[in-house]
Chain A
Amino acid sequence: MTALPAQWLERDRRKLRVEEAAIGDRIYEIITALCALVVPALVISIAIAIFAAAWPAFARLGLSIVASSSWDVGAGQFGAAPALFGTLISSAVALIIATPLAIGVAIFLSEFSPRWLRQPVGFLVDLLAAIPSVVYGLWGIFVLIPLLREHVMPFLRDTLHLGATPFFTGPAYGPSMLAAGVILAIMALPYISAVSREVLLAVPRSQREAALALGATRWEMIRDAVIPYARSGIIGGIMLGLGRALGETMAVTMVIGNRPEISASLFAPGYTMASLIANEFSEATNDLHLSALMAVGATLFVITLVVNAVARWLVWSVSRSRAK
């Protein structure tokens, strides 16, 4: 520390301390503001990085990247439509399975659960979100896929005669859109149930009491008085789960079979945008191939951005009405 200027020493100590404090406050404010600025800077840099890397492919190939379904590296054809299709279908399957379960658990925890069970069940469901996706993938390969192949797929196709529909036909190899959907359902479930539970708990008691007082059964109370009140928050939770499912990479890559074909049957292997990038990135041979993969990443970026923004807005609109 350098010596203070002579005229400072003349001043009374009290004033000096006030000025020091003012300088300290200024420095503190600048540092925290800089930290806060890192967040927008990151989002902008991510957007720039991914679109800069994707630009050569978009410039050369245009929209055929998402519209064409022929992905042939050797021939310089990069149509990722099967991957886009796979991302949307696997996430849709995941939501179809996870949503009723997640809302069921949320209703159980917020309305019917015995007190002593509330904490442990909530904790176990939340813990699903803590399991690394590579562990889901490992479990998917060695436990879930054999289970689907030996029991679930034959049951759906033959015992339930769903093989007559185009969705459950073909041989049961194991790695498939269905396997990806089931794994994603397990992974999205904790996000949907956590948000749903929160918004259900935010529904005022008077809402429930009024319904019961009018003679509703406990289920009618939930259906007619509680769920409508929490609806947009629950939809927000589902969209958050969707955001997770769309961008999930490792677990899906390990169970979906990684075949870039569009098939109506859930038993057939498929591909997703994230697993396409993960699989081909390290073997990308030329600049156009790399750039095409980045263009797929940019598409994924935009889709998840929109889904998440809508989700946050829905959840926020419920919590804001709660604050009023």
Chain B
Amino acid sequence: MRTIRSRHLVSGGMIGLTYVAAVLATLPLLLILWHLLQKGASSLSLAFFTHMPKPVGEPGGGMANAIVGTLVIIATASAIGLPIGIGAGLYLAEKRSTPLAYSVRFLSDVLNGLPSIVIGIFAWEFLVRPIGHFSALAGGVALGSMMIPLVTRTTEEMLHVVPTSLREAALALGYPRWRTSISVVLRTALAGIATGALVAVARIAGETAPLLFTAFGNQFWSTSLREPIAALPLQIFTYAISPYDEWHQLAWAGALVLIVIVLIISIAARFATRSRFGAPVD
């Protein structure tokens, strides 16, 4: 039989280990942010945002086309993912227990867990292969498809938070059901849904793998949805695996810009929900 003393020692030791785990788990994030700042900030300049990429050896050069390309792809993806996701969320919140609702819930979790490269292959098979060339649209469809399950589930969760009494009050006043859903229920949950949308945008903003098959990247300036388009994550990848030091510098700068975009969106989403519902969504 072990003594009380040794049992307390073990207990203290294990509790100490959970503290160590907490330190070790937060360390990578701090290290990554530190290295991004340290290595990326020195290569950031106005030219980085306004200039086009230059061939190796020529000084300067930026990622203007990649930054704009990323924005075009995000906008396309949002135009596809947000309305469909919110619509599906409304359906799930209102028809909670139909067979379709159960299968949509399950399949959106499945979709959410699929590797992004698989989604890229899907967009390639339907939108690139038949047409014969890569396009920004295919990239937007791939990333939009990744947004749908995320937006669907957060919309449903946020709609559940809206008190039933609000809906009943609107119906009692003679509102049709569709007006009640859109002008009362959806409106009340809007901040939460916006947060879900932001989280989804942050998640796809840095996606690279699906873009290899769809948007492909572009050395030149293009904002057309029908042409291949440059994207920040693709450009970072190309520069990072290149053998040139100056390109490595640009990759760090690009990564810093990308992470700042993603972190601003993530932190904004965090605070938007906290102030309204008391607890963060995810």
The chain A residues found within 8 Å of chain B, CB to CB, are 20-22, 24-25, 27-29, 31-40, 42-43, 45-46, 49-50, 52-53, 100-105, 107-109, 111-113, 121, 123-128, 130-139, 141-143, 186, 189, 193-194, 217-220, 222, 240, 243-244, 246-250, 254, 274, 277-278, 281-282, 294, 297, 300-301, 304-305, 307-309, 311-312
> Which residues of chain A have C-beta atoms less than 8 A from B115's C-beta?
246-249, 274, 300-301, 304
Which partner residue on chain A sits nearest B26 by CB separation?
Answer: A124
CB of B152 within 8 A of CB of A125, answer no
CB of A42 within 8 A of CB of B24, answer no
Q: Is the interface of B mostly helix, strand, loop or mixed?
A: helix
CB of A112 within 8 A of CB of B125, answer no
The chain B residues found within 8 Å of chain A, CB to CB, are 7-8, 10-12, 14-15, 17-22, 24-26, 28-32, 35-36, 39, 83-88, 90-92, 94-95, 100-101, 103-104, 106-111, 113-119, 121-122, 125-126, 145, 148-149, 152, 176-179, 181-182, 202-203, 205-209, 212-213, 216, 233, 236-237, 240-241, 248, 251-252, 255, 258-259, 262-263, 266, 270, 282
Q: Is the interface of A mostly helix, strand, loop or mixed?
A: helix
Supposing A25-B177, A53-B125 touch, asked if A43 and B111 sit within 8 A by C-beta, the answer is: yes
CB of A32 within 8 A of CB of B87, answer yes
Supposing A46-B118, A247-B115 touch, asked if A128 and B148 sit within 8 A by C-beta, the answer is: no
> Which residues of chain B have C-beta atoms less than 8 A from A308's C-beta?
109-110, 113-114
CB of A133 within 8 A of CB of B11, answer no
Q: How far is the CA of A139 from the CA of B251 in the complex (A)?
A: 10
CB distance from A38 to the nearest CB of B (A): 5
CB of A128 within 8 A of CB of B176, answer no
Q: How far is the CA of A186 from the CA of B107 in the complex (A)?
A: 27
Select which of A108, A217, A243, A247 is within 8 A of B19 by beta carbon.
A108
CB of B11 within 8 A of CB of A42, answer no
Q: How far is the CA of A188 from the CA of B205 in the complex (A)?
A: 19
> Which residues of chain B have C-beta atoms less than 8 A from A246's C-beta?
115
Q: How far is the CA of A34 from the CA of B181 in the complex (A)?
A: 16
CB of B259 within 8 A of CB of A131, answer yes
CB of A53 within 8 A of CB of B121, answer yes
